[in-house]
Structure 1
């Protein structure tokens, strides 16, 4: 993979476990079936694993670190995380293979520059290369098409 998929950073996870980006307290559950895409470690949950669904605003968090104002592009949405600290990603490659994805491109000032629909993992590297060929692109967000959920972030290496 030409670019690295970034999970939600551990410092942000600590905050989300106390109060999420919508101001709600975390409510852990047992995932009976498994398969939830965990954004803390970029893998799917196992049956019987403890997980939590929290609201996360990835662009807002990035903008706060970089000192920009994303304006109307500041979105928040649901993400699954472990309710306690975990080891983070344990592998290389693309997380959450399979399914259609959108690759949204953002500028250094936090505004959307466009996007691309990809049909599977094999197209992600091409979408990243296309995005980062544009010098205006600072980062991309990969989202699931079915629910629009944020999956992971990729920045220039």
Structure 2
């Protein structure tokens, strides 16, 4: 079952940190087979509002999208040559069914709801996290995270389902 989607206008927060969408090489792979090994099944989004992790915006009615299983920490760890061990997890994300232009703004997306900023070490282990309830508090949460020299990157995730939205890496 697909969770109901927010119908509110998208909140975007200006920041000095960069929200990183899923990288194009990973998207190319995910459009064929997801990280759980399942073939991707695109569909036409009749409602709109799906949080797209390829371009960091909500879908519009009529767009072709796919819901795929994605393992963001696994992919990051492979780039870094580390093993996240038990912290490796995968979960559902929406992406465009075909290649898209990516984000068209530097503002932080998906700040319209409570989010968790989860911290990870250079070894890919969870170092903690912070609940962010106010869109104005994201910069503070990122600064707090990266003030700890052990934090290498953070994931912004949904509170209610734990779904991955995007990552922010150390500058």
The match for 1:52 among 57, 61, 66 is 66
The aligned residue for residue 127 of structure 1 is 141
Query: Are 1:15 and 2:36 an aligned pair?
Result: no
> Counterparts of 2:73 and 2:65 in 1: how far apart (Å)?
23
How far off its partner does 1:137 sit? Answer: 0.3
Counterpart of 2:102 in structure 1 is 88
Partner of 1:142: 156
Tell me the number of residue pairs that the alignment of Structure 1 and Structure 2 aligns.
Answer: 157
Deviations 1:46-66 (A, max 9, x none): 011111000000000000000
Residues 1:97 and 2:111 are matched in the alignment = yes
- Which of 51, 60, 68 aligns to 2:82? It is 68
Greater fraction strand: 1
Shift of 1:97: 2.7
CA contact (8 A) 1:100 1:145 kept: yes
One of 125, 128, 145 as aligned partner of 1:111: 125
Backbone CA RMSD of aligned residues: 0.7
TM-score (normalised: structure 2):
0.90
> What is the CA–CA distance in structure 1 between the aligned matches of 2:129 and 2:83, rounded to whole Å?
20
**Contact 1:17-1:83 at 8 Å conserved across structures:** yes
Distance 1:42 1:120 in 2: 19
Task: State how far apart, in whole Å, the 1-side matches of 2:135 and 2:150 are.
Answer: 24
**TM, length-normalised to structure 1:** 0.98
> In the alignment, is residue 32 of structure 1 matched against residue 46 of structure 2?
yes
Q: Which runs of 4+ in 1 moved over 4 A?
A: none
